[in-house]
Amino acid sequence: MHLKYESTLREPLVDGEKNYHQVTEDIISPIEAKPGKLWYVGFFISLLLLAFGAFSVTWEVYYGTGVWNLNKTIGWGWDITNFVWWVGIGHAGTLISAILLLFRQGWRTGVNRAAEAMTIFAVMCAGQFPIFHMGRVWMAFFVLPYPNTRGPLWVNFNSPLLWDVFAISTYFTVSLLFWYSGLIPDFATVRDRAKTKLRKLLYGIASFGWTGSTKHWQRHEALSLVLAGLSTPLVLSVHTIVSFDFATSVIPGWHTTIFPPYFVAGAIFSGFAMVQTLLIIVRKVLNLEEYITMGHMEAMNKVIVLTGSVVGCAYLTELFMAWYAAVPYEFDTFYKFRAAGPLGWSYWIMMTCNVITPQVFWFRKMRRNVAVTFVMSIIVNIGMWFERFVIICTSLYRDYLPSSWGYYRPSWPEVGFYMGTFGLFFTCFFLFAKYFPVIAVAEIKSILKTSGENYKRGMEQYEGQSAEQFEKGLHHDDHHHDTHGAVAHAHN
Amino acid sequence: MAVKNFVVASFDDEAVLFPAVKKVRTAGYKIHDVYTPFPVHGLDHALGLRETSLHTAGFIYGITGTTTALSCMSWVFNSDWPLNIGGKPHFPLPAFIPITFELTVLFSAVGMVLTFCYLCQLMPFVKKHIFHPRQTDDLFVMAIEVTPKTNAEELKAFLASVGGQQINEQKAEAGWWYGRYDREDRLFEQKAGTVNA
């Protein structure tokens, strides 16, 4: 018997014959094994990318931002595009762990750990761009409000760019705390079954002396719940504030009130796509298909088609408003410089990848197809990259002064910088996949007896019963426990 | 705390654990703690633990953040260095909202996590006695303190009768100490002064 009951109509969240020990075994043993050849190849490629990125950034810092193809007309190019893109990707993790926790979505337990890790790494990548865009990067600390020797001249609290500093750093800190507080009990699991001294030592340090005491779990649950409650508005605020960078300006194509919800939906859209890309590989390589099931992927694909459609509506709203507002500059930006003009191709890539192709997910067969999901997840992220490129560059490359009109293509240090952040992201992710429990072990155990396939099978005998039969069975069950049976009955 | 004697029993199923907790408590034994590999809902109530006040602490940290942000920004803009930024007001409340919100969340989250670590004595290099290595894997481990009044043999027999397995007696430090998990610390052989409360 078990203390909670879930209908067998719901798809199991954990497939196969599992018990608590088997869950530990499945998720922790990849940490204890030597990584495969593929891991080394992937890790080495990531390190190479990271090194090339470091070289490009050093080049830029040494010679100045002039080595980027930015100029008076196009002040923001690939750098801010990449910044917004990475921040957007960093939204899925907290959405999964926080909002889905508040909505009591059980399927989040299979994917939240990896998604949160992805969030943290993506925000780390995002942060690089505005910092190095400053040019004199050694003065980056000027953005912090601290009593200084320059007056003291403070930062401008009215500026959305400063709000961004607060939003991104708060988001990073809170995500990190949320992620790590969930990792502590799992590190303790690794520690207590460790055979080697080094592993005992390192995971002993990382687990902070966790024992699994009931009181500690009670506080841990309270902490997770409140952090989820805090992160929910936080995750919405972050991309809202990023959108303020544009929306509070007077540039045609940016000066619009739908930006906050439009950006947030886009962020969730691209974030879930990135989660799919990573998890499809992780579940295959680490043999975790029984924990990250087709049901999990279908649920995420549903989120993708929903947010993709929200984004699509926003695109159409923008087009409508550009015409309806009767402002010639807005009209020209949308109809002459975005949908047409020298950079018009990027607009149509965006439209195709974000609005048209995700519609395949209205079909259940497509949602539950690994290959389709994988390809779509990459298409969506290409589309979302182009969305940011379109918003930033097509609004800038033809400004109010036709004599300054130009075209924009990145120089090699810009491309190198972007590739370098991929290197950073994947280096971190490879290390995470090797040394961290990629699935929240304790959380899977807490849903196992309600949502595990073998336990659900044990419920079938009860579902056909009448209330009277069930009642009788309860009293019988009090004296006789069978390991697989499960009846909703709480002991007080 | 100090080195104490414990009778330890393991349970492999919550369905056995809950009635056992109830019976042990009714029999008058004082449960030191139950260690579980994951949060078992309702176990805190079954053990008679009170609700945690961590939420309240979080709220207090949050409003501290709110007031810090609002008061600092208005002090900077009005008193310390009033600056004319495009003729905008010196107390632009709407423009203060994003930073105020972010600091509220930041203070609350950081404060709560630190409080959580303080209350549960969690820190790198902190070590605690593990009664059973599988208490973070698949066993629910109940530790009962042996006082001078306790008949340990009777208690063991009683625990076996309520479904406990692998019942044994352990002499262990009840609190925490600085230590490494790759070393075996035999605290009960050391002087009491080296042990932290």
Spatial distance between the Cα atoms of A55 and A34, rounded to a whole number of angstroms: 31
Size of interface A-B (CB pairs under 8 A): 230
DSSP labels for A460-472? HHHHTS-HHHHHH
Shortest CA gap A28–chain B (Å): 10
Tell me which amino acid residue A268 is.
I
Question: How far is CA A199 from each of CA A195, A437, B138, rounded to the nearest angstrom?
Answer: 7, 14, 20
Spatial distance between the Cα atoms of A94 and A326, rounded to a whole number of angstroms: 40
Contact between B2 and B192 under an 8 Å Cβ cutoff? The reply is: yes
- pLDDT of residue A483 exceeding 50, the answer is no
Shortest CA gap B184–chain A (Å): 11
Among A208, A416, A165, A441, residue whose Cα is nearest residue B99: A165
Query: What is the pTM for the complete model shown?
Result: 0.91
The residue assigned the tokens 């003729």 is B87
Angle, helix A344-351 to helix A370-396, in steps of 10 degrees: 150
Tell me which amino acid residue B65 is.
G
> Which tens digits make up the pLDDT trace of A153-184?
888 898 999 999 999 999 999 999 999 999 99
Question: Residue A158 and residue B126: Cβ atoms within 8 Å?
Answer: no
**Range list of β-strands (E), B102-146:** 126-128, 140-145
In this structure, what token pair is assigned to residue A397?
């490359």
Mean pLDDT of chain A: 89
Tell whether A187 lies on the interface with B, counting CB pairs under 8 A.
Answer: no
The residue assigned the tokens 């609004």 is A395
Count the alpha carbons within 13 Å of B65 in the hemisphere toward its beta carbon: 25
> Which tens digits make up the pLDDT trace of A342-368?
999 999 999 999 999 999 999 999 999
Q: What is the mean pLDDT of residues A137-146?
A: 90
Angle, helix A214-247 to helix A78-89, in steps of 10 degrees: 150
Q: What is the mean pLDDT of residues A232-240?
A: 92
Give me the residue spans of the domains in chain A: 20-136+156-491
In this structure, what token pair is assigned to residue A323?
């015409």
For residue A158, which residues of chain B lie inside 8 Å, CB to CB? 85, 88, 92, 95
Question: How far is CA A161 from each of CA A60, A308, B68, B90, rounded to the nearest angstrom?
Answer: 22, 27, 20, 18
A 472-491 residues inside an 8 A Cβ radius of B:
481, 483, 490-491
Comparing A135-144, A454-463, B102-111, the range with the smallest average pLDDT is A454-463
For residue B81, which residues of chain A lie inside 8 Å, CB to CB? 151-154
Contact between A235 and A98 under an 8 Å Cβ cutoff? The reply is: yes
Question: Residue B122 and residue A209: Cβ atoms within 8 Å?
Answer: yes
Give me the residue spans of the domains in chain B: 3-51+128-178, 53-120
Contact between B174 and B2 under an 8 Å Cβ cutoff? The reply is: yes
In this predicted structure, what is the pLDDT of residue B179? 87
More confident call, B161 vs A462: B161
Angle, helix A370-396 to helix A294-324, in steps of 10 degrees: 30
Which helix (H) or strand (E) covers residue B31, if one does? strand B31-35
For residue B15, which residues of chain A lie inside 8 Å, CB to CB? 1-3, 481
**Range list of β-strands (E), A429-469:** none
Q: What is the mean pLDDT of residues A300-311?
A: 93
For residue B99, which residues of chain A lie inside 8 Å, CB to CB? 157, 162-163, 166
DSSP labels for A84-122? HHHHHHTTHHHIIIIIHHHTT-TTHHHHHHHHHHHHHHH
For residue B176, which residues of chain A lie inside 8 Å, CB to CB? 209
Burial class (CB in 10 A: 0-12, 13-18, 19+), A332: middle
Give the CATH number of domain B3-51+128-178. 3.30.70
* Closest Cβ–Cβ partner in B47, B55, B77 for A222: B55
In this predicted structure, what is the pLDDT of residue A3? 56
CATH domain A20-136+156-491 topology: Formate dehydrogenase/DMSO reductase fold (1.20.1630)
CA dihedral of A111, A117, A119, A125, whole degrees rounded to 10: -150
More confident call, A470 vs A200: A200
Cα–chain-centroid distance for residue B186?
A: 24
Which helix (H) or strand (E) covers residue B178, if one does? strand B176-178
**Max Cα separation, chain B?**
83
In this predicted structure, what is the pLDDT of residue A477? 55
Percent of chain A with pLDDT over 70: 95
Indicate which of A18, A158, A220 best probes the interface with B, i.e. most B CBs within 10 Å of its own CB.
Answer: A158
Ordered per-residue pLDDT tens for chain B, 197 residues? 688 889 999 998 888 999 999 999 998 888 999 999 999 988 999 999 999 999 999 999 999 999 999 999 999 989 888 888 888 888 989 999 999 999 999 999 999 999 999 999 999 999 999 999 999 998 999 999 998 888 889 999 999 999 889 999 988 888 888 888 888 876 655 555 444 44
The residue assigned the tokens 């194509």 is A253
- pLDDT of residue A83 exceeding 90, the answer is yes
Tell me which amino acid residue A182 is.
G
For residue A206, which residues of chain B lie inside 8 Å, CB to CB? 124
Using 50, 70 and 90 to split pLDDT, how confident is the model at A4? low
In this predicted structure, what is the pLDDT of residue A98? 85
The SS3 call for residue A427 is: helix
In this structure, what token pair is assigned to residue B48?
């008679």
The SS3 call for residue A300 is: helix
Q: What is the phi/psi pair of residue B169, to 5°?
A: -110, 135
Comparing A74-78, A83-87, A322-326, A482-486, the range with the smallest average pLDDT is A482-486
In this predicted structure, what is the pLDDT of residue B171? 87
* Closest Cβ–Cβ partner in B22, B51, B95 for A157: B95
Question: Residue A211 and residue B135: Cβ atoms within 8 Å?
Answer: yes
For residue B142, which residues of chain A lie inside 8 Å, CB to CB? none
Spatial distance between the Cα atoms of B92 and B86, rounded to a whole number of angstroms: 12
Indicate which of A205, A211, A244, A250 best probes the interface with B, i.e. most B CBs within 10 Å of its own CB.
Answer: A211
Among A8, A1, A12, residue whose Cα is nearest residue A292: A12
In this predicted structure, what is the pLDDT of residue A19? 87
Spatial distance between the Cα atoms of A122 and A117, rounded to a whole number of angstroms: 9
The residue assigned the tokens 């004082």 is B30
For residue B39, give the chain A residue with the closest CA: A217
DSSP labels for A225-261? HHHHHHHHHHHHHHHHHHHHHHHTS--TTT--TTHHH
Spatial distance between the Cα atoms of A150 and A148, rounded to a whole number of angstroms: 5
Using 50, 70 and 90 to split pLDDT, how confident is the model at A485? very low
DSSP labels for A116-145? HHHHHHHHHHHHHHHHHHTSSGGGGGGGS-
Question: Residue B92 and residue A158: Cβ atoms within 8 Å?
Answer: yes
Tell whether A226 lies on the interface with B, counting CB pairs under 8 A.
Answer: yes
Indicate which of A109, A170, A176, A455 best probes the interface with B, i.e. most B CBs within 10 Å of its own CB.
Answer: A170
Spatial distance between the Cα atoms of A27 and A443, rounded to a whole number of angstroms: 12
Q: Long-range contacts: B93-98, Cβ < 8 Å, 24+?
A: B95/A157, B95/A158, B96/A157, B96/B69, B96/B70, B98/A160, B98/A163, B98/A166, B98/A167, B98/A237, B98/A241, B98/A244
- pLDDT of residue A479 exceeding 60, the answer is no
Contact between A228 and A290 under an 8 Å Cβ cutoff? The reply is: no
* B133 C-beta neighbours (distance < 10 Å), count: 14
